[in-house]
Chain A
């Protein structure tokens, strides 16, 4: 049994209460959501918070809702305390953003997915974290609350680097917002040494097709290969083009050049670059197929 250093514990009843507790206990307090990253780190004494503020009673942060945002745009809102399992099992999420379902299938194992949350994953900001890449690919907006109110951040603003985000110690990530787009498909694929291991490498893509079948918008994200943000060069190469295998090969090549992996027990640099290439091609293929299917079903509905 691995044993953490001493800590204190408080159970928050509301978001406001959680914010007050964070304020009261200062920078050495940490939010406990699913706990599947924080608790192992505490047991290894790599993390030593003085206070844990448990937010598992904050049911107000556990939701998946589709609706118009303030500007009237079709948006899916996902509460930060939504468990991986809920996301994995949501037909609505799968229909709108299959990349989330793809990723959730390969995040850890059922036991971890039953506890782990989307907000916790993003705030942990592990470089091998799958949902960070997914949120970048989907252009998610993070809703953060502090005592001064709410602020909205893009993923570029949210992520500050490995294990580092824009969420201050006295703030809480409350939800993530995803813009719903027509004629769009997305996909995620990961290579791992074993189920439940962190990614050797993974890639995600989202593709939006114009009415004429050309690529209207595309984003490509990579996991665990030292890539910050989405791979702009690879996405740019796709814009305005008809989706072809040759195009995907070029995008894969650009992704493998853009990333900056390090060698570790999961593999050497050249292998990881190869995976960035291979997996980029795979997710672009699948995202495009899904975009076609989405365009067809939209056309059918409209027809």
Chain B
């Protein structure tokens, strides 16, 4: 067992033994979680509450011929059965998605994916609701489904979205970044060009808690209280106001404890809307909580990118350019969550950590008869796909050139003096110092020794692989001039109140799904004001209690809300200076700050602590002009740029040559997320993300058969890793602060999920080098690895 004491303080990151401010600190929220006292949506019980259940389509593509609810309505415990026709009458059959498309709340015309919502039953309890689903008679006229993105644009492909005016094909968008002509020229002059189709298969975030809601509509005062599993309560409230026509001030969205989100709980699902409709129709609170199969089959998936990658270099290993064309499968409705301007998210960060002469990417989005969604599973708006592409391509180039993949990376890194670095697709990297991070990971791994061991093992016919990934993330969306979701700028508010006795409450707009916000944000305030983190309450997840902001995803909480909290604390500190000056009968400019108190320059014994100032502010001190009697402040933070965390990961695998089974023996992760607020929480985030990476690399995939059946609809079919599949993580860090962020922090939530899959796949491919393999697609299951060993690796889709 690892104890908190086992981790020595690291001088490079500041004084970690300091109890007030940054450093290792056990999570304030954990006492309630470890004692089973967390309070989740499904724990909410309201007087008279009814229960909803959704009837889902058994097929992927079918015209709805008829639906007969009479038998279900006759069930003694059923209060209402709602169909698409009912919703049509209310104008609620379709809802806008986060990508300017629309999505059916309940099917009115046509089923477009297996598991789509067809009808909603409200009953006395969840058992009766489920039983009544079996009493609804639905007649479908089955249509041929489009299950392969590669053929979705074929002239004879069935048109999925015939609901959209004038739609004659399954094309959603074409989007590009970089300079195509310049890139072509660079490729034409290069000594070496290698290309590879790289598939990032469809996976699912599969949070431990599935999605659900409790809707409570009060018909008397027209007020809706909606408890939801949401990562973005404020954005949801605004969207509900726009969609349902309930005035925004009459809506309260509460996101209680959330059992994992990973992007799965960003969008608004039909179930949430149906719970609201159910409550309006019955006049009672309605709870709807989906089961595991519903979560896996109908809620936001991730990835599903077919990428044709090309990399150009000189023969001595200087990488010149990178280009790719991508076929993006968005499912039946374009419901991805990302800033409006970027239909492929931040995929155009695919130039990675390298100084290139040119780069170009083109992404084509298509509809298929699969569940909608698309940006989820801790992907930083598709940085996951981008990093996977570039880190695989660099390894393929290394193999082609006969160069060590570490050496090739070191040779091509953006140099520290080049930051801030403008890449070829429009990003400005804020800060980076890549080589020391890479060198540290190699030193921790014993890289040269590992290569020697590998050589010996190869001579004995044993399969050992060493894989490297060096990633640059782009997180913290974002500057309002570039980034919005459905017109809502991606800024976050924060409010801080210091109570008269010096205890404080900070209210934030982002919602924790397990990230430790109640601790991290208290530590930021503690660092700025010098009061202990345990004296600071963090309030989040309730739109009646917190300022507006866009929510937790894309590793944006620390970069955006962390900036807001630091700034609001500084605002309070500045205000405290004026009050302290009044209390000390001196001028504010004669005061100096040390953590926790303002004191008189040249006479440190004379000063006032924050607690004393708070009492003064609320007490009888004669306040200076323009200073009111409290120690409160609020801000909304508009980040000037995104932040660019990075890291060097090294993975060691062993493969059983007889069975193709891959064992991850070691994994070394060196992360640089700038200023480290709570290293223990950072390590926890990294451990979780690395485990996700093992899952994606080795076992996770949502597959479909030709008829459109989802083959990943339960945890018997959709595998996620256990403690048995992961090694003892070896983590390290470097610190390169963000120059523009108020505290220099960059965000860490998704680094490991983004960075680990290529390290693992690179290790598997490296192990298979004796078979002449230079690429295989995920997931590297025993069967797929064995097929690669037979010289016939195949794409998963």
Contacts and interface: CB of A to CB of B under 8 A. Distances in A.
Contact of A267 (B127, B293, B724, B783): B783
A194 B725 CA distance: 7
Interface in A236-253: none
B722 A274 contact: no
Given A2-B293, A3-B126, A200-B783, A265 B711 contact: yes
A40 B291 CA distance: 13
A194 B722 contact: yes
B695 to A, nearest CB: 9
Interface in B703-744: 703, 711, 714, 716-717, 719, 721-722, 724-725
B783 A282 contact: no
Nearest to B695: A194
Nearest to A198: B716
A193 B787 contact: no
A168 interface: no
A5 interface: yes
Given A2-B293, A191-B661, A268 B787 contact: yes
Interface string B768-797: 000000000000011100110000000000
Nearest to B783: A267
Contacts of B722: 109, 194-196
Contact of A2 (B291, B711, B725, B783): B291
A193 B725 CA distance: 10
B439 interface: no
A197 interface: yes
B783 A194 contact: no
Interface in A259-303: 265-268, 271, 274-275, 278-279, 282
A278 B658 CA distance: 6
A47 interface: no
A268 B783 contact: yes
B659 interface: yes
Contacts of B719: 193-194, 197
Contacts of A2: 291-293
B131 interface: yes
Contacts of B127: 3, 6
B130 A3 contact: yes
A34 B530 CA distance: 56
Contact of B131 (A5, A198, A200, A275): A5
Interface string B620-663: 00000000000000000000000000000000000000111100
Q: What is the size category of the interface that chain B forms with chain A?
A: 20 to 34
A191 B782 contact: yes
Interface in A1-44: 1-3, 5-6, 40, 44
B289 interface: yes
Nearest to B694: A194
B483 interface: no
Contacts of B698: 194
Contacts of A265: 703, 711, 717
B658 A6 contact: no
B488 interface: no
B450 interface: no
A271 B721 contact: no
A198 B724 CA distance: 15
A193 B130 contact: no
Contacts of A191: 659, 661, 782
Contacts of B787: 268, 271
Contacts of A282: 658
B714 A6 contact: no
Contacts of A40: 716
Contacts of A200: 782-783
A133 B130 CA distance: 38
Given A6-B131, A194-B699, A278-B659, A1 B786 contact: no
B291 A3 contact: yes
Contact of A1 (B291, B716, B725, B781): B291
Contacts of B659: 191, 275, 278-279
Interface string A192-218: 011111101000000000000000000
A182 B61 CA distance: 62
Interface residues of A, number: 26
* Highest count of chain A CB atoms <10 Å: which of B293, B714, B786: B786
A2 B297 CA distance: 14
Nearest to B291: A2
Contact of B126 (A1, A6, A198): A1
Nearest to A268: B783
B56 to A, nearest CB: 13
Contact of B786 (A109, A197, A198, A274): A274
B783 A1 contact: no
A3 B125 CA distance: 11
Nearest to B725: A194
B21 to A, nearest CB: 41
Contacts of A196: 722
A200 B699 CA distance: 13
Contact of A193 (B291, B292, B658, B782): B782
A2 B717 CA distance: 16
B711 A44 contact: no
A266 B783 contact: yes
A193 B699 contact: yes
Contacts of B131: 5-6
Contacts of A275: 659
Contacts of B703: 265
Contacts of B714: 44
A194 B721 contact: yes
Interface string A173-193: 000000000000000000101
Contacts of A194: 698-699, 719, 721-722, 724-725
Contacts of A109: 722
A40 B293 CA distance: 12
Nearest to B719: A194
B289 A1 contact: yes
B703 to A, nearest CB: 6
A179 B711 CA distance: 42
A274 B782 CA distance: 12
- Among B131, B292, B658, residue most surrounded by chain A Cβ atoms (within 10 Å): B658
Contacts of B716: 40, 197-198
Contacts of A278: 658-659
B293 A44 contact: yes
Given A3-B126, A197-B719, A271 B783 contact: yes
Interface in B501-534: none
Most chain B C-beta atoms within 10 Å of own C-beta, residue among A196, A265, A266: A265
Residue among A5, A40, A194, A198 with the highest chain B CB neighbour number at 10 A: A194
Nearest to A196: B722
A196 B659 CA distance: 17
Q: Which of A2, A6, A196, A271 has the most CB of B within 10 A?
A: A271
Nearest to A2: B291
A3 B722 CA distance: 25
Interface in B90-141: 126-127, 130-131, 134
A123 to B, nearest CB: 19
Nearest to B292: A2
A194 B716 CA distance: 10
A128 B615 CA distance: 71
Interface string B286-300: 000101110000000
The 7 closest A-B pairs by CB, nearest first: A267-B783, A195-B724, A2-B291, A3-B130, A278-B658, A271-B783, A194-B719
Interface of A: 1-3, 5-6, 40, 44, 109, 191, 193-198, 200, 265-268, 271, 274-275, 278-279, 282
28 contacts: A1-B42, A1-B126, A2-B293, A3-B126, A5-B131, A5-B134, A191-B661, A191-B782, A194-B698, A194-B721, A194-B725, A195-B722, A195-B724, A195-B725, A197-B716, A197-B719, A200-B782, A265-B711, A266-B781, A266-B783, A267-B782, A267-B786, A268-B787, A271-B660, A271-B786, A275-B659, A278-B658, A278-B659
Given A266-B781, A268-B787, A271-B782, 4 more contacts: A3-B130, A197-B716, A267-B781, A271-B787
